[in-house]
Structures are given as C-alpha cells and as structure tokens.
Amino acid sequence: MCEIQGISIPNLQNRTLYMPLSHCGHPQATGIIEYCPEKLLLHLHASFMVQAKAVVSVCTEMQQEELAKVSGIKGIPLSVLLGP
C-alpha cells in the first residue's frame, strides 16, 4: 500500500475517495500535490501497525473513525491477530 492521500470530488454526495498522482487545482489539496509513480511512499509493516494500534486504542468510536479517515487504516488486520 502506498501513502497517497485520497481526495473526493467536491460538491458530490458520493464519498468515494480517489488517489490521483496530481492534486493540482483540487480544493482539498494539502502538502504534496504531485506524486512520482516511481517513488511512491510505501507503508511499512511497522508504521502500518503503529497507526492500526493507535486507531484501536482511542476511547471513543468517533475518535476511531477520525483516525481511520486520516490514516486509511481501520484497525489491526485479522491475519495479524490470529498469527501464523
């Protein structure tokens, strides 16, 4: 998985996120607005697990949903919980 930030189409009820390589001119663009396909930032297992544990450790469901939106990670994968 890469760390491209998802964006939605403004003024549209559909909440689908898109991961374009260019965010130029998009009203939700923040920080990096151009991604080079050969140099995409990848999630490493360690950073993925830090974010997953942060999501499941917050106190309220609203906080979980907000962290999940920001990170794109909803929790610890079942395959990790069950082990090899």
Q: What is the CA radius of gyration of the chain?
A: 15
Stronger pLDDT, 84 or 47, i.e. the higher one: 47
- Going by pLDDT thresholds of 50, 70 and 90, the confidence category of residue 1 is low
pLDDT for residue 9 is more than 70: yes
Rounded CA-CA distance 65/77 in Å is: 16
Contacts of 74 (CB under 8 A, 6+ apart): 55, 64, 68
Give the pLDDT confidence score for residue 32 in this predicted structure: 66
Rounded CA-CA distance 21/39 in Å is: 11
Stronger pLDDT, 6 or 76, i.e. the higher one: 76
Give the pLDDT confidence score for residue 57 in this predicted structure: 92
- Distances in Å between the Cα of 58 and the Cα atoms of 49, 69, 76 are 15, 14, 13
Calculated CA dihedral for residues 9, 14, 20, 23, nearest 10 degrees: 20
| Domain residue ranges in the chain | 1-41, 43-82
Give the pLDDT confidence score for residue 72 in this predicted structure: 80
pLDDT in tens, 12-66: 777 777 778 887 777 777 766 788 888 888 878 888 899 899 999 998 999 999 8
Give the pLDDT confidence score for residue 54 in this predicted structure: 92
